Chain A
């Protein structure tokens, strides 16, 4: 086993139950692993399956552990408005279990899951484990539709395990990450895979959220703002990379196009422009009060 990545321990809330995300493309062995974890478990844990594929988690094992298995159905594709997720996470909190395992959909990006699950109240994201099918890896990594996804699932995981191939990590996987271990096909699971493993050591709550490279905003300049004043503002703020839009005066409108190297303002034929867009570098706010 390779060493686990160090995890942040700040902001860890002790009363929260640890949440492990199991990611990986279809056929990587996620359900098989979860069934093995259930068979090995020393304390009951709950499983949420976020996939509309067949539910194959062994119900008998769940029942034996007094845990719960839930399948999520759906909701809005771009936000989290879903009766299901909220109700089920909330319902689960009443149950007696010590940890939650979230089986990701095969096409879920690990980083996005990490940020979403880290927001679930009553749970603390402990780790993201990505499984990769060692036999299928060469095909997946050369597939135009899938290779970016597979690489992302590997890059965003705390721990990557190859499944199904016994003769060492496949060279195509080894070449993209040095952090891939092998999941033994039988016998006891590594202790680190126990859902509650990280509970006493650390938690991680800000996974995957990076400061944005650029910010942008549309402003509505005051009517007496001239191109000259706008240009001066841009010069004074070296973080501004791009400005485009309209200065609308009482009688005319001017279309402005600016980059750091170039400032152009020309009268517009129509005055229906709506605002002026700024793009600037870094995550600090820009004060636009001089312009509005």
Chain B
């Protein structure tokens, strides 16, 4: 049986036939994209069904987020959100809580309905919710352990029952910096102490499983049909393998996960030959939805949100220096090993000095053993110079960017971190497209919301959280931005032969939208509704409130 979906418009990302109005699918595979008329050679030969459910919608290739971290998401998603901004989460609508009273009422309400061992609320913000204090949490429930985690993630408060559960006493924390026992406040470096005590709970099996179940809903709600887990082993390699297989390899999971192992973890205590044997085995034992291939994730410099990106001169406003996550010479050694073995190499780079070290490694590898179509990818790329982008193109590198940095951080970083010029040109994506580099967008969820339309909106408009447009010369066209979350993202993962665009022979991975991101007012791209996804021919509707 052939299923034919008709739509107001089908944007194919196939340059030879960019638009269509009907798509024929059989056994999860696309037979043809065109019009009801052009499909007739198929339709006169086989049973078919014309489906009009999406006739007023726009169909695009299934969204692909080539870089997120299910394990990290699993830590955060079980927390109860109480926030000043409303959030639409697939399992609940989070109302805007704009006053201290509203915050307390939400804590009360949630507290009465769930039985978590430790009740963790996320989203407290002094400006709206007033000063937090352990007594305030005690008033919600004096017997039950409660944590109120600040929206910034850099601070939390605990109530007395929580401190008792974790064995935290006045004596055990006396004199530690950035902890206030009386108010139950742990911040910045003091937060590390609290997290070490909370780790057994926030990483417990029950919560971790719940977190992954929730991630599944988030991924679907964003309209994805493929995601990349861009560092399997971030917390615990074996546990991640076992848990993700259990939760995601099921018929009701409407997406696949392309798994890329954390290079430092898989090479640890192993010769390179042993590492290769392990990875070859993982690829051979991939399941339908969960796939390892000859890919690896390596790390160059530190985290962008923590201002630990390594910068070329003139560096940071305050003169501090970034960090290396891997020593440059060790990174080069890993690059060479995986390069010789034919792997697609993804390198986490946040600052332009991080980019420099990665490109040097690539140049060495190319000089020693030239390769074409190798898929070496610069991941995140917060800061990069135009000259580096030219070199990246010459060396055959691709770019997978976190453009949300620009939205969330450029206003603050202009004032507090690197100054206006560099802050306003972070995520230099138009330069990448102009150079002809394969360029994709990712969320690095939970660093940014897992919403491709939102990331497209940022890439097209470059408007920051303060409402100011930053670096307009680097704005993408809507078509480029759509390519960056579909076909280009497939190329980043090395799976463009079977997904990423709509054409005869590819798997039927579709995202159904309420409007066209190519023709809607660019400022409204983020407001387009995701109606449903189709994963390998199966429709998965998206419920909206």
Contacts and interface: CB of A to CB of B under 8 A. Distances in A.
Contacts of B153: 79
A277 B412 contact: yes
B233 A74 contact: yes
B195 A275 contact: no
A106 B267 CA distance: 17
B265 A206 contact: no
B435 interface: no
Contact of B127 (A116, A152, A220): A220
A107 B357 CA distance: 14
Interface centre among A52, A90, A152, A220 (most CB of B within 10 A): A52
Interface string A1-36: 000000000111100000000000110000000000
Contacts of A53: 330
Contacts of A85: 196, 199
Contacts, number: 163
B200 interface: yes
B318 interface: yes
A52 B323 contact: no
Contacts of A148: 321
Given A74-B265, A79-B153, A274-B465, A205 B196 contact: no
Nearest to A218: B127
A31 to B, nearest CB: 14
B87 interface: no
Nearest to B168: A121
Contacts of B189: 115-116, 118-119, 209
Contacts of B302: 77-78
Contacts of A145: 310, 324, 328, 353, 356-357
B325 interface: yes
Contacts of B406: none
Interface string A173-215: 0000000000000000000000000000000011001000110
The number of chain A residues touching the other chain, given as a range, is: 35 or more
B321 A152 contact: yes
Interface of A: 10-13, 25-26, 52-55, 71, 73-87, 89-90, 106-109, 112, 115-116, 118-121, 144-146, 148-149, 152, 205-206, 209, 213-214, 216, 218-220, 242, 244-246, 270, 272-275, 277, 279, 292
26 contacts: A10-B175, A11-B175, A74-B233, A74-B264, A75-B234, A76-B234, A78-B305, A81-B235, A115-B192, A116-B192, A118-B177, A121-B172, A149-B324, A205-B175, A209-B177, A213-B318, A214-B318, A216-B415, A220-B127, A245-B466, A274-B465, A274-B466, A274-B467, A277-B411, A279-B415, A292-B127
Interface of B: 72, 75, 127, 153, 171-178, 189-193, 195-197, 199-200, 202-203, 233-237, 262, 264-265, 267-269, 299, 302-303, 305-306, 308, 310, 318, 321, 323-330, 353, 356-357, 411-412, 415-416, 465-467
The list of the 6 closest CB pairs from A to B, nearest first, reads A11-B175, A78-B303, A86-B199, A119-B193, A107-B324, A52-B264
